[in-house]
Amino acid sequence: MQLQSVSLKAGFWGAVVGSILTMIVGFSWGGWTTSSTAQQLAARQSDAAVTSALVPICVAGEKADAGRGKLGELTAIASSYEQTEFVMKSGWATFPGQADPNRAVAEACAGALLKTAVAK
């Protein structure tokens, strides 16, 4: 009876230690994630995808704008925050159905417009 008790204890503790090690390895190096982490990652990726899809529309809005000198004004601004504010105030980052401009799109749009201005 004593031998069976020792055997069961060893088996139990072996299973506990094995489970803990499996979880440590899985979450650290195996790429396992919790549900909340996966949801946060999915939200960030979808926001980035929407932003990248809307940037060309913002750039086209600048090109169609009657005040063509605005790109020159944008390139003269040194601060990236002020560049984003400039794009937001210009209306290029405000889309149909929205009352306010999208800051993430305005920031990416300012970067894209500056790249096109430098390339010219």
CA distance 36 to 38: 5
Residue pLDDT, tens place only, 45-91: 999 999 999 999 999 988 887 667 788 888 889 999 999 999 999 99
- The one-letter amino acid code at 44 reads R
> Mean pLDDT in the chain?
89
> Helix 103-119 and helix 35-64: axis angle, to 10°?
50
H helices of 29-102, where? 35-64, 70-76, 80-90
**108 and 83 in contact (C-beta within 8 Å)?**
no
Total-model pTM = 0.68
**109 and 93 in contact (C-beta within 8 Å)?**
yes
